A and B are shown apart, each in its own frame.
Chain A
Amino acid sequence: MEIEAGTSKEQDATNADTNPFEIIEQKILALAQARPKGISDKDLIIEMPDLPSVQRAQIINKLLSQGHFDLFKQGGSLLYRLRDPSKAKIAKGADNEEKIVYSIIEEAGNKGIWIRDIRFKSNLMPTQLSKILKSLEIKKFIKAVKSVAASKKKVYMLYNLEPDTSVTGGAWYQDQDFEAEFVDVLNQQCYRFLEKKREQMNSCRGGPIMARNVTFASSKEVWKFISDLGISKVKLSVEDLEMILNTLVYDGKVERTLSGDGSILYRAIEPLLDSPGLIKSTCGVCPVRKHCCDIGDVTPTKCQYITEWLE
Chain B
Amino acid sequence: MSVMCRKLCSSILFEHFGQIVQCVAEDLFKHGARSLELIRYATDLPVTKVKEALCVLIKHGFVRYSRVERGLEFSLIYENVLLILRYPKYMFFIKTMCGDESEMILEEVLMNGYITASEVITKTYKKIEQSPSGRQPSVPVLKEKFELLVKNQFLTRSLCTDTVGGRTNEKPDFTLPNLNLTAIIKKIEGDNNSDPGDSKIYWKVNFDRLIQDLRDQIIVSAIRRRLDENAGELMRQLLFLMYLRTASWAHTSNPIPLTEIKEAVKKTSYPLLIHHLDQYLHLIEEDSSQFLKRVGDSGGGQFSVNMKEAFEQLAWATLENIVMERFGSKAARIFRLVRDKKYIEQEQIQQLAMIPAKEAKHLTYTLLQENYIQMQEMKKSGVSAAPIKTFFLFHIDLNVVVYMEVEHCYHALYNIMQRREYEVNSNKRMIDKQLRMQTLTTNLKEHGATEEQLAEIADLMTPSEKQQLEKVQNTIKKLGITELQIDDTLFLLTMYLRYH
Q: Which of A's residues lie within 8 Å of B, judged by CB?
A: 120, 123, 149-151, 172, 178, 180, 183, 187, 207-209, 212, 243-244, 246-247, 249-252, 255, 269-281, 283-285, 289, 292, 294, 299-301, 303, 306, 310
Contacts and interface: CB of A to CB of B under 8 A. Distances in A.
A278 B322 CA distance: 8
Interface of B: 222, 225-228, 230-231, 272, 275-276, 279-280, 282-283, 288-289, 313-314, 317-318, 320-322, 325-326, 329, 332-334, 336-337, 340, 347, 352-357, 359, 385-386, 405, 408-409, 411-412, 414-416, 418-419, 422, 475, 478-479, 482, 484-490, 492
Contacts of A289: 408, 411-412
Nearest to B288: A255
A300 B325 contact: no
A306 B313 CA distance: 31
Closest 4 CB pairs of A and B: A277-B485, A283-B412, A278-B489, A277-B488
A277 B486 contact: yes
Contacts of B482: 277, 280-281
Contacts of A150: 357
Interface-centre pick from B272, B314, B333, B412 (highest chain A CB count, 10 A): B412
A275 B412 contact: no
A252 B354 CA distance: 15
Given A252-B320, A277-B485, A283 B415 contact: yes
Contacts of B422: 300-301
A168 to B, nearest CB: 13
B324 to A, nearest CB: 8
Interface-centre pick from A246, A283, A292 (highest chain B CB count, 10 A): A283
B279 A272 contact: no
Contact of A247 (B227, B275, B354, B492): B354
Contacts of B492: 276
A190 B416 CA distance: 41
A150 B487 CA distance: 45
Majority SS at the chain B contact face: helix
A279 B279 contact: no
A243 to B, nearest CB: 6
Given A123-B385, A303-B419, A277 B353 contact: no
Given A270-B225, A281-B485, 16 more contacts: A207-B275, A208-B276, A208-B279, A247-B354, A249-B336, A250-B336, A277-B482, A277-B484, A277-B486, A277-B489, A278-B412, A278-B486, A283-B415, A285-B326, A289-B408, A310-B475
Contacts, number: 150
Contacts of B275: 207
A251 B331 CA distance: 9
A272 B314 contact: yes
A273 B496 CA distance: 15
Contact of A276 (B228, B321, B353, B359): B321
B357 A272 contact: no
A173 to B, nearest CB: 10
A180 B356 contact: yes
A250 B269 CA distance: 38
Contacts of B222: 272-273
A278 B405 contact: yes
Contacts of B484: 277
24 contacts: A150-B357, A151-B357, A180-B359, A208-B228, A208-B230, A208-B279, A208-B280, A243-B352, A249-B336, A251-B332, A251-B333, A269-B226, A271-B317, A272-B314, A273-B317, A276-B318, A276-B492, A277-B484, A278-B408, A278-B490, A300-B416, A300-B419, A301-B419, A301-B422
Interface-centre pick from B314, B408, B415 (highest chain A CB count, 10 A): B415
Contacts of A172: 354
A306 B354 CA distance: 36
Nearest to A274: B225
A301 B336 CA distance: 36
A272 B314 CA distance: 7
Contact of B485 (A180, A246, A247, A278): A278
Nearest to A310: B475
Given A208-B230, A279-B321, A301 B333 contact: no
Contacts of B485: 277-278, 280-281
B352 A250 contact: yes
B475 A275 contact: no
Contacts of A251: 329, 332-333, 336
Given A172-B354, A180-B356, A281-B416, A273 B411 contact: no
B314 A273 contact: yes
A183 B360 CA distance: 14
A270 B336 contact: no
Contacts of B415: 283, 292, 300, 303
Given A123-B385, A274-B225, A279-B326, A284 B408 contact: yes
Contacts of B279: 207-209
Contacts of A280: 482, 485
A269 B226 CA distance: 7
